Structure 1
Amino acid sequence: MTSWPVVEFSSLLAEPTRNGVYKSKEFHGRGAKMVNMGELFAYPRLPAVPMKRVELSTSEERRFKLEVGDLLFARRSLVAEGAGKCSIVMEQTEVTAFESSIIRARLNRSMADPLFYFYFFNSTPGVHALDTIRRQVAVAGITGTDLVRLKVPAPTLRFQNKVSSILGSLDDKIELNRRMNGTLEAMAQAIFRDWFVDFGPSRRKLEGAADPITIMGGLVQDPERAQALADLFPGTLGDDGLPAGWEEKQVGDVTVLLKRGLAPSYSDNGILVINQKCIRNKAVNLAAARRHDEAKRPAKDRRLEEYDVVVNSTGVGTLGRVATVRGLKEQATADSHVTICRADTSKLSKLVLSLFMEGQEALIETMGHGSTGQTELSPASLSAMTFTVAPKPVQLAFDNFVVPLRNLVTSNSEHSLTLAETRDLLLPKLMSGEIRLGEAVEVAA
């Protein structure tokens, strides 16, 4: 590190650190939003995302209310490297508190840029500093007392601001991509629900709509294209309540593969093998994947394909998470804690299966069986799920709308990975002084 002054972290605080609030179950489900460990690990730069709620007293709200710029540290974790994990509050739209497994550090803005210290505690020197105070008993943990005694660099506020601006600009672009992807995914789900769940075009015909643009719910504004789409949807419902000619099918009836992945033989080489850590927020994060030696156990039909659906199938908390394989750049498979679902494309669009399964994630999370800690989701349970299957021309029209949306999501995600790699390259170099600010600006541009 360069010759910056080194100070005790406590000297940069606006007030003492504070552990979060514990509230028993009778106070849950209403009131203020509560940052839990899930949010802390999922969102290093914490936006105003949906959270669980707890009822707080006036005193608790005053003491535990978060502000933009607050640093949050994981006070304890089942895995050693999780203790001390640092996040920063980036956005607040309503009263939000934090739970008892989290430590809050509020910095004095006249001498410390919170974003700079967020990046410091996520850099190699910062992580090493946290390593020195991490205690391992039944679970790994840190204390606020030890945290404030850490020695940290104290460059000029001007320098801090420039570093946080450079790195923050990259993270801002990543956040913009995340929000754009959220909008695109919501659009895809909205079209899916209108066509295949609510039978919107058929119901609008039944209600007397004649204008094709109205029948299609304003999805397209070109009259000829709207008419071509509207003609695909029957204007009557059968005795089963489905549009005429549509059928209710089980997932097992329209898939060619519905089974767990393999028991991997881990290797430094070989094909990627995704695990339950890879599946979160309906996406597959290959950064958490390992590699499998196919010479010892061939993947065969368990080799993943584009638009396969993967479902976490073991354990409380992770069971039921659903994601679709997209943007696969190399051969991959899944381990035995993950179920692979592959559509029979002679009967069903892969995209229709993907949107159906992703939309059922909350239900699938409840479908596990077994004792606590041994909960399993069987392929048979997934196979028995039912949904409505439209004729192939309707499915093809759906694909024509949604494939471009999904492709843009994949492109945005790949762009975000590149931005994250650039940020992670610059972070240690800026913190150590190995790269000058001007050079960093050029790299980040």
Structure 2
Amino acid sequence: MPGDLLFARQSLVLSGAGKCCIFVGHYEPVVFESHIIRARLNQNSDPDFYFYYFNSPSGRCSVESIVEVVAAAGIRASDLVELQVPRPSLSAQRQIGAVLRAFDEKIELNRRMNETLEAMARTLFRSWFVDFDPVRAKAENRPTGLPADLDALFPSEFEDSPLGEIPKGWRAGTMEDVAVCRRRSVSTTSIADDEPYVGLEHIEKKSLALTDWGRGADVSSQKSRFQVGEILFGKLRPYFHKVCIAPVSGVCSTDILVVDAKEPGLAGFVALGLSEESTIEFVTASSGGTRMPRTSWGDLARVPMVVPTDTVAAAFGDLVRENLELVRKSVFEIQYLEEQRDFLLPKLLSGEIEVAEEDAIG
């Protein structure tokens, strides 16, 4: 039920054992499986407060004290219920939980905004370059719904091609016609401790927004360098659909391809094309390996694409640029909010900082 705390009973890695999350609600009956421990708190305990406690350094340290490692790391429910935890008044618990929850709600709002902005860009990409809506409208003497300057960029008829019927004047091509793979190997000695590091674990599925990354200090092997605005494409198990636009410059895992548009005017077209479901399906089918399939630039370069005229591609880039820039700004706001939340978390839990009932964030 809402407010239940769920703990990971087992994990292949030590940091995963006892990891805590909170169940916030459901729209249909749900059950939990045997690798999860459910904790339902009494009425004198605030679920948000204890969720944040078990995700704080002191809470994690407390849980790690009961982790046993055999074949896998794990905890027992009987040990979990015996853990000593802080017991401030219920009023204080609720105030602390509310402040920290406000940060997470603002972070979630930003993530949803990013999803909406991306969805708008994807819809426009598919309308123009997959369904050819403006061309079909003109071919059938229907209004395109576009401003006159954009309407004039599209032809009013189709022609045959190896990819089937495509707008006249456009061409059947491949990803290699519009994009290039940037290969910049870098050794650990050339990576600064505070340099952003991106591994596959940092890239969210089906999201162009990269909101999390590590530090160069954590790197122990050769990596690849990338620049702001380049596209990071996860090549290990490509069906996970891990494709994002780099909001910062840094280094990344060698299991990530660094891809860039051949021309600045193609940047939006390339980014959305790389994250299209048809692109993921093509490279997945072409990947080598069974247990750990891995794609390559050779596979990605061969992805079939209908290549528009430069003017249409540039117009598309202009239209989606604002959306993608808003996503980039949101990424930094998310990072700032997470840093502030994580800074306040131990201080609020320890009582070093006290909050009034009306305290919140804007």
TM-score by length of 1: 0.73
- Between 1:317-326 and 1:426-435, the stretch displaced more is 317-326
Q: Shift of the alpha carbon at 1:136?
A: 1.1
**Structure 1 residues 78-93: aligned runs within 5 Å:** 78-93=12-27
Distance in structure 2 (CA, Å) of the matches to 1:318 and 1:288 = 23
Question: Which residue of structure 2 lines up, in the alignment, with residue 423 of structure 1?
Answer: 341
Q: Secondary structure at the match of 1:153?
A: coil
Amino acid at match of 2:315: A
Greater RCO, CA 8 A, separation 6+: 2
The structure-2 alpha-carbon separation of the partners of 1:407 and 1:134, relative to structure 1 and needing over 3 Å to count, comes to: same
Q: Shift of the alpha carbon at 1:126?
A: 0.8
The structure-2 alpha-carbon separation of the partners of 1:439 and 1:414, relative to structure 1 and needing over 3 Å to count, comes to: farther
Q: Shift of the alpha carbon at 1:75?
A: 1.6
Question: Which residue of structure 1 lines up, in the alignment, with residue 8 of structure 2?
Answer: 74
Q: In the TM superposition, what whole-angstrom CA distance separates every residue of 1:227-246 from its partner, at most 9, and x where no partner exists?
A: 21111111101023100111
CA contact (8 A) 2:232 2:243 kept: yes
The structure-2 alpha-carbon separation of the partners of 1:228 and 1:412, relative to structure 1 and needing over 3 Å to count, comes to: same
Question: Which residue of structure 2 lines up, in the alignment, with residue 345 of structure 1?
Answer: 263
Alignment RMSD: 2.7
CA contact (8 A) 2:8 2:35 kept: yes
Q: Shift of the alpha carbon at 1:291?
A: 4.9
Question: Which residue of structure 2 lines up, in the alignment, with residue 313 of structure 1?
Answer: 235
2:291 to 354, 372, 379: 372
Amino acid at match of 1:184: L
The structure-2 alpha-carbon separation of the partners of 1:367 and 1:112, relative to structure 1 and needing over 3 Å to count, comes to: farther
Distance in structure 2 (CA, Å) of the matches to 1:378 and 1:313 = 6
Question: Which residue of structure 2 lines up, in the alignment, with residue 13 of structure 1?
Answer: none
Distance in structure 1 (CA, Å) of the matches to 2:238 and 2:73 = 19
Question: Which residue of structure 2 lines up, in the alignment, with residue 275 of structure 1?
Answer: 199
Question: Which residue of structure 1 lines up, in the alignment, with residue 210 of structure 2?
Answer: 284
Aligned-pair identity (%): 34
Amino acid at match of 2:81: V
CA contact (8 A) 1:309 1:340 kept: yes
CA contact (8 A) 1:280 1:321 kept: yes
Unpaired runs of at least 5, structure 2: none
Distance in structure 1 (CA, Å) of the matches to 2:138 and 2:25 = 44
The structure-2 alpha-carbon separation of the partners of 1:289 and 1:352, relative to structure 1 and needing over 3 Å to count, comes to: farther
Q: Shift of the alpha carbon at 1:270?
A: 7.1
Q: Shift of the alpha carbon at 1:420?
A: 1.1
Aligned residue-pair number = 353
- Between 1:69-78 and 1:357-366, the stretch displaced more is 357-366
1:251 to 145, 167, 175: 175
Q: Secondary structure at the match of 1:396?
A: helix
Q: Shift of the alpha carbon at 1:440?
A: 10
Q: In the TM superposition, what whole-angstrom CA distance separates every residue of 1:400-430 from its partner, at most 9, and x where no partner exists?
A: 2111111111122211211111111111001
Q: Shift of the alpha carbon at 1:393?
A: 1.2
CA contact (8 A) 2:181 2:257 kept: no
Q: Shift of the alpha carbon at 1:376?
A: 2.1
Unpaired runs of at least 5, structure 1: 1-66, 217-225
Question: Which residue of structure 1 lines up, in the alignment, with residue 185 of structure 2?
Answer: 262
CA contact (8 A) 1:74 1:85 kept: yes
Question: Which residue of structure 1 lines up, in the alignment, with residue 245 of structure 2?
Answer: 324
Amino acid at match of 1:197: V
CA contact (8 A) 1:262 1:334 kept: no
Q: Secondary structure at the match of 2:21?
A: strand
Q: Secondary structure at the match of 1:96?
A: coil
